[in-house]
Amino acid sequence: MRDSVTEKVYDILEELFMNELNRDTSGLDESLDDLGINSFNYVSLGVAIEEAFGIELTLKELDYSNRPFTTIRSLVDFIMKRAV
């Protein structure tokens, strides 16, 4: 299941930035900030996660200053915990 979640996360990030990520160089420990996530598009990422995985994020989790994930790995881990 982790591999399919990881693939979907990469797909979401690529769609959000309208740019193909090099999955070989954009590893799981890549910072979302380095990929271009900021306070403006963080909510868009949250909405995409909700829709793709059928989970609901709280307002606190959608607040960029309180974000529960900062890397691709921590985002995958977050989804894995919430989707169960």
- CATH number of the domain encompassing residue 58: 1.10.1200.10
| Stretch 48-70: mean pLDDT | 93
Q: Please state, in angstroms and as integers, the Cα–Cα distance from residue 82 to each residue in 43, 46, 54, 55, 73, following that order.
A: 17, 13, 9, 7, 14
Provide the pLDDT for residue 76: 96
Number of domains in the chain: 1
Burial of 36: CB neighbours in 10 Å, binned 0-12, 13-18, 19+: exposed
Of all helices (H) and strands (E), which one includes residue 52? helix 42-53
Q: Phi first, then psi: what are they for 71, rounded to 5°?
A: -130, 170
Name the pTM for this structure: 0.88
Provide the pLDDT for residue 17: 79
| Stretch 44-63: mean pLDDT | 94
User: By residue range, what is the domain housing residue 76?
Assistant: 2-83
Task: Please say whether the beta carbons of 7 and 15 come within 8 A.
Answer: no
Indicate whether 73 pLDDT > 70.
yes
